[in-house]
Every structure is written in structure tokens, then in C-alpha cells.
């Protein structure tokens, strides 16, 4: 019997007293007790015990107050050596074991296989080897992408090797403290219902984690390195999505210290772009993300572009591209006019989605490949400008989707990949082609580079191209506000806030009446005028949309699936007739967006 086991009563008394003194939440005490007393956590008892003896109550509460969940992007959070609410060997191991157990039960057979890849984050390689050992111990053949590789390459590998599932070790654009696993199904898309809930059940009930030594599995062929094979085939498949046109564009590319250079640079070269420079301060693969503001490598953050734009102006570049650490998202900056030494500005995710939708559809039209059966896909919190562009080309827009690119992938398989043209979500995710079932920063880089070259040849800037769309379809302005609510108190506050929007929503926002509330959890629409409800067609999830009386203006609210925050999406629009003077129209909508943000924050603070 270990020292920890002999001292269990003393340790349990200590955490009980800490709860009574208000230093530990009840849920943390329950989870700490489990890690001290249950055999499945035996390897971690001594570390837990030492934290108790050292009275590290705040840390213990942080890492034990809940069980880290599966969200839209998998299981993601801060790394710490112990804790049910942290990323560590136990929580990662449970995730892989739960996946293995479910696939064995649901699929069965003797030739199961899993593809695994990892990014540049701290411990990503360690977690990838751990997952590989668990899958091998469960009877799987593991196809392993050795060295830092992009998430879309993992999705491609699952499909290319006909795997039953896949695991990507990455926390995408989260801070350096975080890591995660994204779990993929045989389609190459992230796991969807009903598989996700069934896998979670297996994860939550996981007792023993069985691990085969990685080196032994590699030596006897149960783990096979496929990096070179997938690199070649992935570039071939992505390059097959290119469009004809000029290739004279000078491109500055930043991988933001992530994996992207291994995919983006060879893909652009294959597509005929000879003048591509990797921005040197962001080139080093590093989980610390040392040279980006706040050490957060997120292309949604305009601050990451400040230094690259300076370099682009000095070097005469036409466009700046940046992908997040696992290279599934794209950010873009370009000069406002054709003067590359003049003023530059970034594009948000909705704007990139709009210009790429226009570009892809116009090139498909040129090639005579459009018909009413063709379709584009977007999520419910992505700009409706996408739908209007699609309608102008007489193609469908599948747009009633919850947040998460896995739902876009689901539509591709449901509606048929042969008619799929383009998929986009506001959080900078984009996809064309049939080779992959997740957003791909590399192929998005290729498309933007093609557009940049075409516009350069035509004597037009990318911002002017977007302005043409606004004049044609009406000016659209969107904004995203994140309200962080961390810890157990934050979770309770999130639940109260969502309940308030459902049961007692604001009567007006930005001095415009709220006409109706769409509740995708109850699948009802409630009229504010008379309180009547009607059925709401669409997906089921924790999303609320408040439609304002002025058509095209609405606010969406949802808890993040990967971080402790509530996300507020503001959507505003003017008609084409009101949008011909874009300067004046822009001022009108900027004021409206600011007013919406202020009203939403005020409402949230009162709850």
C-alpha cells in the first residue's frame, strides 16, 4: 500500500475542510476524491496528494471543478499534469481509449485503422505517441504523420488510407498553455452525432487505459509513418482545385509559428506562384508563438498582421497571408488600392468568405460548370452575403448549420461532393474540392493568391473587389464580441445568460425593435409583439438568434464549444440602394454595430 493510500483519510479530511472554508467547490471535491480513491487514477495519486499537502487550493479547484468536455472542436483546454478539467495524459488517454472502444464496438472487424497527426505545440508529439499506443493496443493499425503537419492533411490521410477514424493533436489558435485532440470519423470529417455522444459516453466511463509502447509498435509495423506519401498526395489533390488565370503576385506568408509552411509553400509553388516569401520572424515552429502579439497565433486577430504588413509595404508585396498553428484557418491583408506602398487593411472571416465565394463561382461559371444543383455552404453565424452571392449565380446555399466545420463536411456528404463548390464559416475556415472534409488554410491560401494575381492583372485591389460586392448586394457589416466566463462561476453565469435571452430577451437593440427570437435549442421562434411561438426548422443546438425589425439585422448568441466564453455575433445590412455611397453607408453601419455591442454588453452585465 502506498503512502498516499495510507494517508487517504487525512487527505480527504483536508479537502473537505477546504470546501467548508470556501477554497474548493463541491464538484472539485468530488473529482479530487475520485482521483485519490479510484484505481483508474492510481498513477496520479501522489501528485494530487502533494498538491493537497501544499494547499494549492486555487490550482486544485481550477483543474478539478469539472470534467473537460467535448465541444465543437474536440476536447481542448489548458495543460496540467493532473486534473479532470485539464489536458494531461489521463484526459488525452481517456479520449483515445473512448474512441478506440467505440469504433471496436460500432465498426468491429480485424482490420481497423486510425490516422494520427500533431502540430507544433508543447507536448503535441508526446500526446500523439500516447494516442498511437492506445489505438495499437486496441487492435488498430496506426498511420502516423511524423513531424508537424496540418489538420487538413490529417483529414485527407483518413480518407486516403480508408481509416475508420483519426486523431489530430492540436489546440488550433488557442494560447500556448493549451492543447487538445480533435477526433475524426471515417469520412475525414470531425465526429458528428450520434457518434460524438456515444464516444463521450465511452470516454466518461473509461477505467483502464491500455497503451502499447510506441517504439515497439513502430518497429513491428503496427505504426506506419506515412508523412512523405501524404505530403505528395495532399499537394496533388489540393492543387487539382486550382483555377486558370495569371500567377503574377508577390506573396508574403506567415505560418504564425505553426505547421503551415510544409503545406502552403509547396502548394503555391505547384500552382505556379514563384514569388512567395515566408515571413521570417514567424517561421520558427514553436509552441510558445514568441513573435506574435500576446503569444496568440490567431489570424482572426488583426494585431498579428501589423509587422508583416510593414514588411510587405517595404518589400512591394501584393498580399499578406497567415494561417493558424494547425493551418486550417486563413487570415488576409491587402492594400486598399493598387498602391502596395499605400494604406493596408485586413479582412475579417466573413469578408474573406464573401470574396472567395464570388471568385470560386465566377471561375466555375467561366468554365461552364454551374447549374442550379450546385451549392455553397455556410453556417448560421456566417454572413448572409454568401447566400446573396450564390443566388446571383443561380446556385444553392445550404446555410442553416450550427457552428463547426464538421457540419459543413456533413452537408458535402449528404448533398453530394460532385455538386459542392465552396464551404465557408466566419471564423476563417474555407474549403473547395473533394479531397478533404475539414477547413483547409493551404487551399484557401491558393485561392486568395489566384484572386490577388487576377485582380493585379485587372488593375483592381482586393478591397475594391469586395466593395463591388457591397454595391451589388448591399453593405454588410458583422462583428463578434467574446465575453469570457471562466471557472465554475463562469459556467453558471453562462447558463443564466442564455436563459435570460430565451425567457426575457431585450425588447430593442441599437434602437431597433427585436421582432422575434429564434431558439435552436427548443426549435421555436417567438414573436416579441404578441409572445406567440411557432416551430423553427433547422438544426438543434444551443444557439439563439434575435431578429430585429429592420430586415437583415440580427444578433446571434452561443456559448463557445472550446473555450469558457459566450460569443455574440452582430449582423447589420443596408440595401443596395442605400449602399452606393459606401463611405456614408459604412459610417451608418459602424454606428449601428457599436450600438449593438454596447446594448448586448449592458444586457449581459445585468444578468
Which residues form the catalytic set?
172
Start-end of H helices in 162-290: 195-204, 214-219, 227-239, 261-270
SS3 assignment, position 461: coil
Burial bucket for residue 168 (CB in 10 Å: 0-12, 13-18, 19+):
buried
Reference 528, options 512, 543, 517; nearest CA is 517
Q: Residue 405 CA to chain centroid, in angstroms? A: 7
Nine-digit cell string for 252: 508574403
Q: How far apart are CA 316 and CA 526, in angstroms?
A: 54
Strand ranges of the sheet holding 223-225, from the earlier edge strand across to the other edge: 70-71, 74-78, 178-185, 165-169, 113-118, 141-144, 223-225
**DSSP bridge pairs for 184:** 166, 190
Q: How far apart are CA 560 and CA 39, in angstroms?
A: 33
Q: Taking a C-beta distance cutoff of 8 angstroms, is the pair 466, 354 a contact?
A: yes
The pairing of beta strand 276-278 with beta strand 70-71: unpaired
Return the DSSP state at 192.
-
Q: How far apart are CA 17 and CA 8, in angstroms?
A: 14
- The number of beta carbons lying within 10 Å of the beta carbon of residue 242 is 20
Q: Taking a C-beta distance cutoff of 8 angstroms, is the pair 75, 67 a contact?
A: no
Please, what is the Cα angle at 103 between 179 and 43, to 5 degrees?
A: 50
Q: Taking a C-beta distance cutoff of 8 angstroms, is the pair 323, 297 a contact?
A: no
Reference 322, options 253, 403, 416, 413; nearest CA is 253
Q: How far apart are CA 218 and CA 188, in angstroms?
A: 24
Reference 73, options 439, 320, 412, 388; nearest CA is 439
Length of the chain, in residues: 607
Amino acid at each position: 500500500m502506498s503512502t498516499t493510500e495510507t494517508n487517504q483519510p487525512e487527505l480527504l479530511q483536508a479537502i473537505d475542510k477546504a470546501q467548508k472554508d470556501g477554497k474548493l467547490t463541491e464538484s472539485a471535491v468530488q473529482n479530487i476524491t475520485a482521483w485519490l480513491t479510484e484505481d483508474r487514477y492510481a498513477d496520479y495519486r501522489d501528485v494530487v496528494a502533494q498538491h493537497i499537502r501544499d494547499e494549492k487550493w486555487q490550482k486544485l479547484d481550477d483543474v478539478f471543478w469539472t470534467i473537460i468536455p467535448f465541444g465543437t472542436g474536440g476536447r481542448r483546454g489548458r495543460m496540467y499534469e493532473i486534473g479532470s478539467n485539464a489536458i494531461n495524459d489521463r484526459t488525452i488517454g481517456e479520449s483515445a481509449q473512448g474512441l478506440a472502444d467505440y469504433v471496436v464496438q460500432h465498426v468491429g472487424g480485424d482490420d481497423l485503422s486510425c490516422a494520427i497527426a500533431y502540430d507544433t505545440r508543447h507536448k503535441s508529439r508526446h500526446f500523439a505517441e500516447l494516442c498511437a499506443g492506445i489505438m495499437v493496443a486496441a487492435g488498430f493499425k496506426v498511420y502516423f504523420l511524423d513531424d508537424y503537419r496540418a489538420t487538413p492533411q490529417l483529414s485527407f490521410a483518413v480518407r486516403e488510407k480508408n481509416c475508420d477514424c483519426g486523431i489530430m493533436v492540436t489546440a488550433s489558435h488557442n494560447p500556448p498553455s493549451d492543447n487538445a485532440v480533435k477526433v475524426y470519423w471515417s469520412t475525414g470529417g470531425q465526429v458528428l452525432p450520434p457518434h460524438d455522444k456515444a464516444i463521450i459516453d465511452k470516454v466518461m466511463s473509461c477505467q483502464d487505459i491500455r497503451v502499447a509502447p510506441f517504439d515497439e509498435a513502430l518497429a513491428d509495423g503496427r505504426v506506419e509513418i506515412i508523412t512523405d506519401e501524404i505530403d505528395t498526395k495532399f499537394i496533388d489533390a489540393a492543387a487539382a482545385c486550382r483555377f486558370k488565370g495569371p500567377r503574377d503576385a508577390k506573396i508574403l506568408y506567415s505560418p504564425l509559428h505553426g505547421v503551415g509552411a510544409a503545406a502552403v509553400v509547396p502548394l503555391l509553388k505547384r500552382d505556379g506562384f514563384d514569388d512567395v516569401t515566408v515571413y521570417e520572424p514567424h517561421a520558427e515552429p514553436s509552441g510558445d508563438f514568441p513573435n506574435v502579439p500576446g503569444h496568440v497565433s490567431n489570424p482572426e486577430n488583426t494585431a498579428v498582421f501589423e509587422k508583416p504588413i510593414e514588411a510587405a509595404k517595404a518589400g512591394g508585396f501584393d498580399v499578406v497571408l497567415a494561417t493558424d498553428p494547425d493551418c486550417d484557418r486563413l487570415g488576409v491583408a491587402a492594400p486598399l488600392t493598387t498602391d502596395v506602398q499605400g494604406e493596408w487593411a485586413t479582412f475579417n472571416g466573413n469578408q474573406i468568405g464573401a470574396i472567395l465565394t464570388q471568385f470560386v463561382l465566377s471561375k466555375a461559371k467561366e468554365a461552364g460548370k454551374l447549374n442550379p444543383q450546385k451549392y455553397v455552404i455556410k453556417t448560421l453565424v456566417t454572413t448572409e452575403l454568401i447566400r446573396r452571392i450564390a443566388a446571383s449565380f443561380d446556385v444553392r446555399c445550404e446555410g442553416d448549420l450550427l457552428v463547426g466545420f464538421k457540419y459543413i463536411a456533413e452537408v458535402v456528404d449528404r448533398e453530394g461532393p460532385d455538386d459542392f463548390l465552396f464551404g465557408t464559416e466566419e471564423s476563417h475556415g474555407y474549403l473547395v474540392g473533394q479531397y478533404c472534409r475539414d477547413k483547409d488554410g493551404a487551399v484557401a491560401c491558393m485561392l486568395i493568391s489566384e484572386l490577388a494575381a487576377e485582380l493585379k492583372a485587372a488593375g483592381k485591389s482586393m478591397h475594391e473587389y469586395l466593395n463591388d460586392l457591397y454595391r451589388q448586394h448591399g453593405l454588410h457589416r458583422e462583428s463578434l464580441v467574446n465575453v469570457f466566463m471562466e471557472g465554475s462561476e463562469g459556467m453558471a453565469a453562462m447558463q443564466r445568460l442564455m436563459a435570460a435571452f430565451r425567457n426575457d430577451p431585450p425588447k430593442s437593440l441599437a434602437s431597433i425593435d427585436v421582432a422575434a427570437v429564434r431558439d435552436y435549442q427548443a426549435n421555436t421562434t417567438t414573436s416579441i409583439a404578441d409572445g406567440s411561438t411557432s416551430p423553427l426548422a433547422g438544426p438543434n443546438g444551443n444557439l439563439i438568434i434575435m431578429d430585429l425589425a429592420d430586415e437583415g439585422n440580427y444578433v446571434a448568441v452561443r456559448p463557445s464549444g472550446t473555450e469558457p466564453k459566450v460569443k455574440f455575433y452582430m449582423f447589420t445590412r443596408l440595401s443596395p440602394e442605400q449602399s452606393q455611397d459606401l463611405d456614408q453607408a459604412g459610417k451608418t453601419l459602424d454606428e449601428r454595430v457599436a450600438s449593438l455591442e454596447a446594448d448586448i454588453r449592458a444586457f449581459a452585465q445585468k444578468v
